[in-house]
Structure 1
Amino acid sequence: MEEISEKQLSILKVAERLFADQGFHGTSVRDIAQEADVNIAMISYYFGSKDKLLESIVKYRMKASQKFIQDLLVDDTMKPLDKIYAMIDRFINKMMGEQNFQCIMSREQLNSEKSPVRDLIWELKREMLGLMQPIVTDAQEAGIFHKDIDVVMLMTSLFGTIHQIIPAQKLLRNDPEFSDLDEATFKENLKQRLSIHLKKLFKAILTHEF
Structure 2
Amino acid sequence: MTQARQKIIDAAISLFYAKGYNGTSVRDIAKQADVNVANISYYFAGKQGLLEQLVSDFLEGYLRTIEMTFEQRNFLSSKEVLFQMVRNILQYQFERRELTRFFYRELSLDSTLIREIMTIYFSKERYYIEQLIRQGQENKEFQNVSFAMFMTQLKGMISMPYLYPQYISEVLHSFPSEIFFIEMYMREVEKWMEQALCTEHLQYPLPRAAYV
Q: Distance in 1 between matches of 2:47 and 2:11?
A: 13
> 2:6 aligns to what?
9
Q: Structure 1's 53 and 71: CA in aligned 2 closer, same or farther, altered over 3 A?
A: same
- Distance (Å, rounded) in 2 between the aligned partners of 1:6 and 1:159: 35
- Aligned residues with identical type, % of pairs: 23
Deviates more, 1:44-53 or 1:189-198: 189-198
| 1:160 and 2:156 aligned | yes
Partner of 1:178: none
Structure 2 length-normalised TM: 0.79
> CA 1:115/1:193 → structure 2, altered by over 3 Å: closer, same or farther?
same
* 2:209 matched residue in structure 1: none
2:82 to 81, 84, 90: 84
* Superposition map of 1:160-199 within 5 A: 160-166=156-162, 167=165, 168-171=167-170, 174=173, 187-199=178-190
In the alignment, the residues of structure 1 paired with residue 61 and residue 104 of structure 2 have an alpha-carbon distance, to the nearest angstrom, of: 19
Q: Alignment partner for residue 49 of structure 2, among 46, 49, 52?
A: 52
1:107, distance to aligned residue in structure 2 (A): 2.8
The list of structure 1 runs, each at least 4 consecutive aligned residues, that deviate by more than 4 angstroms after superposition, is 172-175
Aligned pair 1:24/2:21, yes or no? yes
Q: Distance in 2 between matches of 1:74 and 1:97?
A: 22
Q: How large is the RMSD of aligned CA atoms in angstroms?
A: 2.6
CA contact (8 A) 2:8 2:29 kept: yes
Partner in structure 2 of residue 103 of structure 1: 101
Greater relative CO (CA pairs within 8 A, separation 6+)? 1
**C-alpha displacement at 1:172, in angstroms?**
6.7
Is the CA contact 1:139–1:145 (under 8 Å) kept in the aligned structure 2?
yes
2:190 partner amino acid: K
Count residues with an aligned counterpart.
Answer: 197
Amino acid at match of 2:169: K
Greater Cα shift, 35-44 or 100-109: 100-109
Q: Describe the shift of the 1:23–1:140 C-alpha distance in structure 2 as closer, same or farther (beyond 3 A).
A: same
CA contact 1:12–1:57 (8 Å) conserved in 2 = yes
Query: For 2:178, what is the secondary structure of its paired residue?
Result: helix
Q: Which residue pairs with 1:179 in the alignment?
A: none
